[in-house]
Structure 1
């Protein structure tokens, strides 16, 4: 896993959300959460697993909406932040956070209604093995995102501290075929990369977002998208 030591550092965990989801990053947070909700459908009384759950952005959100959620992550400091967030939100009874390896999920086959992974596959050295495990433990939905190879993401990829794996659509389709997942919906968004939005105020980000969505709506505009959300069924 690329950047494993960087990701597990105490100071990274403490500053993770403040650096990525304040300022213009709030817009990204809203878009990602809506993508997760759209993929899962009705959330209440649903059993959900999030791998690489980090500080619990999605696990807490889903628990607040009535899902029973398990979040798994390799980083103890990230999980600590997630537990504090769950307690503050009053959803600890609907949420379990545990440390573990996403490549060897400690659950039986068909254990969850949905399995999700956000901000994970750009770090994965062996994406097929992780995706195969996600499929194994899901009864219905598998949802994940990728950063795209032929996009503005590649311009600043070299500056990321942990590196970043970029995917072509052909590569994602091949991965889905290899593990036996059926693609239900693929959404492609953010012509301007995430890193750009994080550097500007939230009010300014809204203006650029309008330009971004206009570009994305043009013929072949989605081919310029820097991120894709993949909703699949088992």
Structure 2
């Protein structure tokens, strides 16, 4: 995995949410959470696994809605932040955070109703093997996001020291077919890359986001999008 050691650093974990989801980054947080809720739907009573849960943004959100959820991550420091977040939200007894490797999930086949991963596949060096494991432990649904190429993300990606894997529609379709998954829904968004929004204040970000959304809603919006959210079902 790209950046694996970086994500495990305590100082990175402690500052992760503040650096990415403050200022204009709050727009990203809201949109990503809505994408997860749109795809998974009502979660009360569902057994859910989040891969690469990080600081638990989505794990805690779904626990608050009644999911029986496990958040798995390779970074102990990130998981510790998630546990603090769960405690503050009053759901620390309704979920479990577990350290583990997404390439070797410690669960039996078909164990979860839904398995999902956000902000993960752009770092995956062997995406097919990770998706295969997600599909193995999923009984019904697999959901994940990717950064799209070509898009404005391509230029931003070139400037990043760590870089990111970019995916086209054909790339994702190939991954799904290889792992026994069927695409049932997709959303495409964000003409401007995420990093742009994190650098600007809320008020300015809101106005720029309105223009961004107008472009996304146009006839060519899907071709301009830098992020895609993929909803797949187990065959």
Q: Tell whether the structures are fold-level matches, with TM greater than 0.5.
A: yes
Offset of residue 92 of structure 1: 1.1
The corresponding residue for 1:175 is: 175
Offset of residue 94 of structure 1: 1.1
The question of 1:191 aligning with 2:191 is answered: yes
The corresponding residue for 1:34 is: 34
The corresponding residue for 1:124 is: 124
Partners of 1:147 and 1:153 within 8 A in 2: yes
Offset of residue 163 of structure 1: 1.7
The corresponding residue for 1:50 is: 50
The corresponding residue for 2:75 is: 75
CA RMSD of aligned residues (A): 0.8
The corresponding residue for 1:86 is: 86
Offset of residue 159 of structure 1: 2.9
Partners of 1:68 and 1:94 within 8 A in 2: yes
Structure 2: 5+ residue stretches without partners: none
Q: How far apart are the structure 1 equivalents of 2:41 and 2:214?
A: 27
Secondary structure of the structure 2 residue equivalent to 1:71: strand
- The Cα offsets for residues 151-177 of structure 1, whole Å up to 9 and x where unpaired, read as 001111133342211111110110001
- Alignment TM-score, normalising by the size of structure 2: 0.98
The corresponding residue for 1:147 is: 147
Secondary structure of the structure 2 residue equivalent to 1:97: strand
Structure 1: 5+ residue stretches without partners: none
- Structure 1 residue ranges, 4+ long, deviating more than 4 angstroms after superposition: none
Secondary structure of the structure 2 residue equivalent to 1:92: coil
Offset of residue 7 of structure 1: 1.1
Partners of 1:147 and 1:227 within 8 A in 2: yes
Offset of residue 230 of structure 1: 0.1
- The Cα offsets for residues 27-61 of structure 1, whole Å up to 9 and x where unpaired, read as 11000001101111111111110000000000000
Secondary structure of the structure 1 residue equivalent to 2:167: coil
- Alignment TM-score, normalising by the size of structure 1: 0.98
Partners of 1:3 and 1:161 within 8 A in 2: no
- The Cα offsets for residues 161-196 of structure 1, whole Å up to 9 and x where unpaired, read as 422111111101100011010101011000011111
Partners of 1:23 and 1:199 within 8 A in 2: yes
The corresponding residue for 2:4 is: 4
Q: How far apart are the structure 2 equivalents of 1:139 and 1:180?
A: 12
The corresponding residue for 1:232 is: 232
The corresponding residue for 2:97 is: 97
